[in-house]
Structure 1
Amino acid sequence: MDASGMKKEVSLEFLYLGGNFITAIPPELAKLPSLRYLVLCDNKIQSIPPQLAQLHSLRSLSLHNNLLTYLPREILNLVHLDELSLRGNPLVVRFVRDLTYNPPSLQELAGRTVKTRNIPYTPSDLPESLVRYLSLASNCPNPKCGGVYFDSCVRQIKFVDFCGKYRLPLMHYLCSPECSSPFSSASQSSTSQSESDSEDEASVAAHRMQKVLLG
């Protein structure tokens, strides 16, 4: 591709990929910084790559009539997104309940102890690989937990309130199964759900996601 072709690709603002039997969204789409309208409707897409959160100019995302059961938490980083079409996806009527959890390794348990108890160490005390490993700790999103995780975490669907009208299922990761009680049924009260929402996600600004099309 010549220089002019690369410039056109980078400056692309509208991309229509609807009705193409696409099963996976290529993460390379994240390399289109000027993209404002992305249409992926009427495909066979089962998940959204978190790299799409790098499309900071995106204003409209059409995902209706696919096979989505959840959305990645990273979609909250699309600060200019004001239209999200999700109708015709399984996530509208159900969500994932049976998700697996692999017990942490001895290395992870030791790393969690170092991080949660703030055990002091200097880079010269440990092999470089362990120092790098400790730097990769992720904080558990449960505000009542305060724990961390590395490779072993609990994948769980959580409904997040958007503008007080829509509750969208987002994937989030907990450090252990004890961090949150499992979803009991669809009849779970909104009060209980609200209590389980982490502070950063429950307070999505009212001007965000004004047009979430579910039906």
Structure 2
Amino acid sequence: MRKKLAELVARYAHAEFLPPFSTEELAAVEEKLGVELPEEYRAFLVEVSRGEEDTGSAFLLPPEDGLLCLTPDATPSAPFPFGDDAVEVLRRRIAKKKRGDDEPAVDGPWNGALPLMGRGDGEFDCLVLHGPERGRMWKYWDAGWAPICVVKKGVAEPVPFLDWVEEHIKELVGSAPPPIKPDAKEIRLVGLGLTSVPPAVFEAVGAEKLVLPTNQLAVLPPELTKLTSLRVLSLADNALRELPGWIGDFRALEELYLSGNPLGSLPETIGRLGSLQRLTLAKTGLRSLPETLDGLQRLAELDLRWNAIEVLPESVEALPALRVLKLLGNPLRRLPSWIARTAVEELELEKLPELDLAKALAALSDLPALRTLGIYPPHQELPPSLAGLRQVKWLKLIGLGLRGVPREVLAMQELETLSLDQNQLTAIPDEVFQMPKLTSLVLFSNPISRDEVARLRERWQHVTIEYL
């Protein structure tokens, strides 16, 4: 049992068990309860643990905490209210219970039992202290009392304390993340509801990848700086309100995922991450970016989606390796003229309600590296400046309500892929297929007929038409 608890603590950040009772401490507890505890439970308390530290999981309550869960009129030293006859009736009903049937239960006072685990909504697993059920586990909830049983071959067998605690440890270990070895190179703890980083993580000093998304981390422990070899750190969808200044100490970090945290701002030290190539900051409440961002000389992808950024700082201009810039859902009014001096290859103008599209496309016409451009709602009208984007190879005009292919598109002689998903197209003019470099046309979710698509495929076999 001690080994199993040690494994649980090592793998499950919520589990933190208190040391065993001394004989004298146990005697004091029994005096307070007014009853001698069942032998299996007594042995567990003095040889293994007195129960779990209060970490919010309520897996195994110490006896004193169990007392606090009792109703004011409950008396542990009073006789347990159910004798052999009542117990036998309940067990027969449990053995015959079918899926979907109500759980068998019986009303009675809360006496002679000690809560050991709270399951929420007033439900407890309890240890019986008196009578023929002494040492066995019962459940109490709003329907009353019921013995905890294991049904085997049509018979409901009672569950004693040690079987109960062993089963729950097994369940927790089974749902816990895999053991973290000191020589681990990759650590993945995804969606476990963690409120703290397991201590075993700090021992894996050679780890290169630490993945902790979709938890409940509100603070990052400084012990993480022991992981000096980290190349990937994923903290997306946690509860971080602040990124500590020591984040800049991860000089080997290449990918940092922070999306979905209510940060509001970034520390100036983030500019010290000279090896960083990908930075995701979607839905982080940012209104601005630190000027030190220009220290990220190897940054290739910057994700700023769904923030409150109105102006892109000049520090973005000084990112020589930047290839992908994601701006969806920001109140940007314009793209700065200096964007033409960047190496951005991919840009999506989506859900930017304040953006002046004509001026934005004019600025992009001077961006020689631009290869992929997406234009989405709310931009319903395409300005003539679109024709100036002759360097673009993949153009996405999606969900704009187009009933025809804009003439400006035909001037984009380097275009290889044209995506026209989710529009109102019923026909495609021949001029589209006569564009010199076009090899792919995407027409998903348009009212064009299958017969017309078949005719186009037969006639223009050098162009792949994607359509369902």
TM-score grouping bracket, smaller chain normalisation: 0.3 to 0.5
TM-score (normalised: structure 2): 0.23
Higher Cα Rg, which structure: 2
Which structure exhibits the higher relative contact order, with contacts defined as CA atoms closer than 8 Å and separated by 6 or more residues?
A: 1
